[in-house]
């Protein structure tokens, strides 16, 4: 048994040197952190695989009368600490390895912020940009019906992720409730407020990212007024982080989107940009900044870089050119293990995804709690609790990094694995 771990851990160290897909990247970091923790071999085996993987192929009637068959996934990595929790994404390139990685990151993320959930993620292979609202609704409802035994307030609680939103969650909640013959609001989080959503949830991931920036600055002895910020992705996470950071006195000088970037050395008027995007559907053509090449913004001089779009954008190809002092990962898995090695050598302070973007699931936890007690908090109450939890989690990760002499990412994994392993052992494994 010990020999198996040694072989796997040597593999992990080698894997940290080359580019990996998100699931391999997760596994390499998990193995590396597990080795540092001297994790029991049996528990290592339990936590190195997802507990459940569900794949469904289901028909949807398209607007023109055609029948299309879509493939959907739900992966539950762990339910040791509570019901599985995690978002659902819609994109053409969704695949099982990606969903596996995202599910396991949810396990670690919930453990880092110490909320009573396990980890899951779902996805459907589709191109939402090419689908009507009606098609999206029918696809969402059928996907939910296929997952009716999988989802549940005590089993698995979905939330929004890339290309899904409050409306998607409302459809899931309604479909689930139809099958249960009663309204079950706590089956999803990230819902509209009038049907059991929480105040503060829609902006919570961006808010958490902004708190992570404040904490990093505090730790490094820097001030918001001296900070230029560049953000990749102006969706839920990126736009809310940008709005809040600007309010706090940071200067957001660059925004990178899939169809082009914007740059203004004096700072971009973010509320005006959000309004422009709402009206035109794109950040392009915004009068308050000059056009920039999206990929080049990742390596433009700034104090804080926030990838908030998707995985594997900071790789061994561009990590050496990153000029930011601080990398705050709004997206899940934006940095590859090979890039980690380069960033560490150049002294970039990394706030890893499983800490930096944990504000969303934390507010989801608050929403689930409020739904179950049927009593709702003010936005101020939600934000105060979120703030306290994010600050404490940041302190916990930094302390772990200092105590164990590891970087912040490995520290966050170690802290999370330690908590999940403890609970897994405590619950026992006999059926
Ligand atoms: N929504 C949430 O509460 C949470 C989201 N995340 C992660 O944050 C990231 C973004 O998620 P959301 O903001 O929810 O998704 P979203 O769908 O609202 O926004 C994503 C944005 O990224 C842009 N984008 C796509 N490809 C791009 C590219 N190549 N370059 C630049 N921009 C690009 C899209 O146009 C869109 O504006 C994902 O990694 C997601 O898993 C993490 C924690 C919670
Ligand atoms: O709010 C949630 O439950 C999960 C959000 C999510 O998908 C994530 O943190 O990656």
Is the confidence at residue 428, as pLDDT, over 50?
yes
Residue 358 CA: nearest ligand 1 atom is 43
Same domain, 218 and 182: no
In this prediction, residue 61 carries a pLDDT of 98
Domain harbouring 303, CATH code: 3.40.50.720
End-to-end CA distance of the chain: 22
Which of 341, 356, 371 corresponds to the end of one domain? 356
The two tokens of residue 242 are: 């940008």
Relative to beta strand 228-232, strand 251-257 is: parallel
Radius of gyration for the alpha carbons in the chain, expressed in angstroms and rounded: 21
Is the confidence at residue 129, as pLDDT, over 80?
yes
Enumerate the known binding-site residues for substrate: 85, 109, 364
**Residue 389 counted as domain residue:** no
Enumerate the known binding-site residues for NAD(+): 205, 236
The Å distance, Cα 362 to ligand 2 centre, comes to 8
- The rounded Cα 397 to chain-centroid distance in angstroms is 17
Q: Can you tell me the distance from the alpha carbon of 155 to that of 53, in angstroms, rounded to the nearest whole number?
A: 14
Give the confidence band of 3 by pLDDT, cuts at 50, 70, 90: very low
Q: Which of 308, 360, 412 to mutate to test the pocket of ligand 2 (most atoms within 8 A of CB)?
A: 360
**Does the beta carbon of 85 lie inside 6 Å of ligand 2?**
yes
Which residues contact ligand 1 via a Cβ below 6 A? Answer: 160-163, 205, 232-238, 256-258, 294, 308-310, 330-332, 357, 360
Which of 312, 336, 356 corresponds to the end of one domain? 356
**Does the beta carbon of 86 lie inside 6 Å of ligand 2?**
yes
**Average pLDDT, stretch 368-396?**
98
Give the confidence band of 5 by pLDDT, cuts at 50, 70, 90: very low
Domain harbouring 184, CATH code: 3.40.50.10860
**Average pLDDT, stretch 99-125?**
98
Active site residues: 121
In this prediction, residue 8 carries a pLDDT of 46
Same domain, 239 and 178: no
pLDDT, tens digit (0-9, with 9 covering 90-100), for 179-195? 999 999 999 999 999 99
Q: Can you tell me the distance from the alpha carbon of 136 to that of 427, in angstroms, rounded to the nearest whole number?
A: 40
Q: What percent of the chain has pLDDT over 90?
A: 95
Query: Whose CA is closest to 112, among 307, 407, 390?
Result: 390
Contact between 121 and 108 under an 8 Å Cβ cutoff? The reply is no
Q: Give nearest CA residue, ligand 1 atom 39.
A: 331
**Does the beta carbon of 87 lie inside 6 Å of ligand 2?**
yes
Which of 309, 331, 356 corresponds to the end of one domain? 356
ipTM for this model: 0.99
**Average pLDDT, stretch 348-356?**
98
Same domain, 352 and 208: yes
Residue 204 CA: nearest ligand 2 atom is 1
**Residue 224 counted as domain residue:** yes
The Å distance, Cα 105 to ligand 2 centre, comes to 10
> How many other CB atoms sit within 10 Å of the CB of residue 204?
30
Same domain, 240 and 119: no
Is the confidence at residue 363, as pLDDT, over 90?
yes
**Does the beta carbon of 189 lie inside 6 Å of ligand 2?**
yes
Across the beta sheet with 84-91, the strand order is 52-61, 67-78, 118-125, 84-91, 156-160
Residue 332 CA: nearest ligand 2 atom is 10
Is the confidence at residue 245, as pLDDT, over 50?
yes
In this prediction, residue 429 carries a pLDDT of 79
**Average pLDDT, stretch 296-305?**
98
The Å distance, Cα 329 to ligand 1 centre, comes to 11
Residue 358 CA: nearest ligand 2 atom is 9
**Residue 91 counted as domain residue:** yes
Q: Which of 74, 121, 161, 329 to mutate to test the pocket of ligand 2 (most atoms within 8 A of CB)?
A: 161
Give the confidence band of 417 by pLDDT, cuts at 50, 70, 90: very high
Same domain, 184 and 327: no
Is the confidence at residue 261, as pLDDT, over 50?
yes
Residues 6+ apart with CB under 8 A from 26: 100, 101, 104, 105, 333
**Average pLDDT, stretch 376-405?**
98
Same domain, 246 and 337: yes
**Residue 407 counted as domain residue:** no
In this prediction, residue 431 carries a pLDDT of 64
Same domain, 172 and 291: no
**Residue 271 counted as domain residue:** yes
The Å distance, Cα 243 to ligand 1 centre, comes to 15
pLDDT, tens digit (0-9, with 9 covering 90-100), for 40-78? 999 999 999 999 999 999 999 999 999 999 999 999 999
Residue 110's domain spans which residues? 51-188
**Residue 290 counted as domain residue:** yes
In this prediction, residue 46 carries a pLDDT of 96
Please tell me the total count of domains within the chain. 2
Same domain, 159 and 210: no
Q: Which of 98, 153, 205, 233 to mutate to test the pocket of ligand 2 (most atoms within 8 A of CB)?
A: 205
In this prediction, residue 17 carries a pLDDT of 54
Is the confidence at residue 403, as pLDDT, over 70?
yes
The two tokens of residue 423 are: 């609970």
In this prediction, residue 48 carries a pLDDT of 97
The two tokens of residue 308 are: 């908030």
Exposed, middle or buried: residue 373 (CB in 10 Å: 0-12, 13-18, 19+)? exposed
Same domain, 183 and 227: no
**Residue 161 counted as domain residue:** yes
Is the confidence at residue 119, as pLDDT, over 60?
yes
**Average pLDDT, stretch 308-313?**
97
Same domain, 152 and 233: no
DSSP state letter for 186: G
Is the confidence at residue 2, as pLDDT, over 80?
no
**Average pLDDT, stretch 386-410?**
98
Q: Can you tell me the distance from the alpha carbon of 45 to that of 53, in angstroms, rounded to the nearest whole number?
A: 16
Same domain, 121 and 212: no
The Å distance, Cα 348 to ligand 2 centre, comes to 26
Arithmetic mean of pLDDT over the chain: 95
**Residue 136 counted as domain residue:** yes
Q: Can you tell me the distance from the alpha carbon of 272 to that of 376, in angstroms, rounded to the nearest whole number?
A: 31
Same domain, 253 and 216: yes
Is the confidence at residue 14, as pLDDT, over 60?
no
**Average pLDDT, stretch 145-163?**
98
pLDDT, tens digit (0-9, with 9 covering 90-100), for 201-232? 999 999 999 999 999 999 999 999 999 999 99
* Ligand closest in space to the Cα of 88: 2
């Amino acid at each position: 048994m010990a020999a198996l771990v040694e072989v796997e851990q040597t593999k992990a160290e080698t894997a940290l040197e080359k580019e990996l897909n998100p699931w391999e990247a997760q596994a390499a970091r998990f193995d590396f952190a597990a080795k540092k923790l001297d994790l029991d071999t049996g528990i290592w085996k339990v936590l190195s695989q997802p507990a459940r993987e569900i794949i469904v192929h289901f028909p949807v009637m398209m607007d023109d009368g055609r029948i299309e068959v879509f493939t959907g996934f739900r992966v539950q990595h762990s339910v040791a600490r509570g019901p599985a929790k995690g978002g659902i994404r819609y994109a053409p390139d969704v695949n099982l390895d990606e969903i596996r990685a995202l599910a396991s990151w949810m396990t670690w993320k919930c453990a880092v912020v110490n909320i009573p959930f396990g980890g899951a993620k779902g996805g459907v292979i589709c191109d939402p940009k090419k689908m009507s609202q009606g098609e999206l609704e029918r696809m969402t409802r059928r996907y939910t019906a296929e997952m009716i035994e999988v989802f549940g307030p005590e089993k698995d609680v979905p939330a929004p992720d890339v290309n899904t939103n409050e409306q998607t969650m409302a459809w899931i909640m309604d479909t689930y409730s139809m099958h249960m013959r009663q309204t079950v609001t706590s089956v999803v989080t990230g819902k509209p407020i009038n049907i059991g959503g929480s105040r503060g949830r829609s902006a919570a991931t961006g808010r958490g990212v902004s708190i992570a920036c404040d904490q990093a600055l505090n730790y490094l002895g820097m001030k918001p007024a001296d900070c230029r910020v560049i953000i990749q992705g102006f969706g839920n996470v990126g736009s809310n982080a940008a709005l809040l950071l600007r309010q706090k006195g940071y200067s957001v000088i660059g925004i990178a989107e899939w169809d082009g970037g914007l740059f203004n050395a004096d700072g971009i008027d973010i509320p005006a940009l959000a309004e422009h995007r709402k009206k035109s559907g794109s950040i392009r053509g915004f009068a308050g900044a000059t056009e920039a090449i999206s990929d080049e913004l990742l390596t433009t001089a700034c104090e804080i870089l926030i990838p908030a779009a998707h995985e594997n954008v900071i790789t061994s190809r561009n990590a050496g050119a990153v000029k930011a002092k601080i990398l705050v990962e709004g997206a899940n898995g934006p940095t590859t293990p090979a890039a980690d090695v380069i960033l560490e050598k150049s002294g970039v302070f990394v706030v890893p995804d499983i800490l930096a973007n944990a504000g969303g699931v934390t507010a989801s936890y608050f929403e689930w709690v409020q739904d179950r007690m049927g009593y709702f908090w003010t936005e101020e109450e939600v934000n105060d609790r979120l703030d306290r939890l994010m600050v404490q989690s940041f302190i916990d990760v930094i302390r772990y990094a200092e105590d164990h002499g590891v970087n912040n990412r490995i520290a966050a994994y170690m802290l999370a694995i330690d908590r999940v392993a403890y609970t897994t052992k405590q619950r026992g494994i006999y059926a």
